C-alpha cells in the first residue's frame, strides 16, 4: 500500500510541476504574442501559447480525476469501517 500511495504522490507532484511550468509559459508567451499580433512571430507565439494551455488543461484534468478517485476510495473505506484511511 505504501508504494501505491508514494507513486500517486509522485504523480501528483509531477503534474503540479507540469501545470506550473505550462501556465507560466502560456501566460508569458501569450502576452508576447499580443505584442506582435498580426505578424509571423505573433502567430507562432499564439500557437505555442495554445499548445501549452492544452498541456496545462490535460495535466489539470488528470490531477482532478486522481483526486476524485482518491476521495471516493476514502469514502468507501470509511463506510466499510476500514482503518486504513
Domain boundaries, the chain: 8-79
Dihedral angle, C-alpha 77, 78, 81, 84, nearest 10 °: 60
pTM of the predicted structure, to 2 decimals:
0.78
Instruction: Say which residues have a Cβ less than 8 Å from residue 19's Cβ, sequence separation at least 6.
Output: 56, 59, 60, 63
Average pLDDT, the chain: 89
**pLDDT tens-digit readout, 8-45:** 889 999 999 999 999 999 999 999 999 999 899 999 99
Q: Are 51 and 70 in contact (CB under 8 A)?
A: no
Q: Which three cell numbers stand for residue 10?
A: 509522485
C-alpha grid cell for residue 44? 507562432
Amino acid at each position: 500500500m505504501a508504494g501505491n500511495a508514494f507513486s500517486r504522490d509522485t504523480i501528483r507532484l509531477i503534474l503540479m510541476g507540469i501545470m506550473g511550468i505550462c501556465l507560466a509559459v502560456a501566460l508569458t508567451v501569450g502576452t508576447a504574442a499580443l505584442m506582435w499580433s498580426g505578424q509571423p512571430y505573433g502567430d507562432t507565439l499564439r500557437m505555442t501559447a495554445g499548445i501549452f494551455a492544452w498541456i496545462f488543461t490535460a495535466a489539470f484534468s488528470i490531477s482532478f480525476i486522481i483526486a476524485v478517485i482518491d476521495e471516493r476510495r476514502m469514502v468507501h473505506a470509511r463506510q466499510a469501517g476500514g482503518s486504513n484511511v
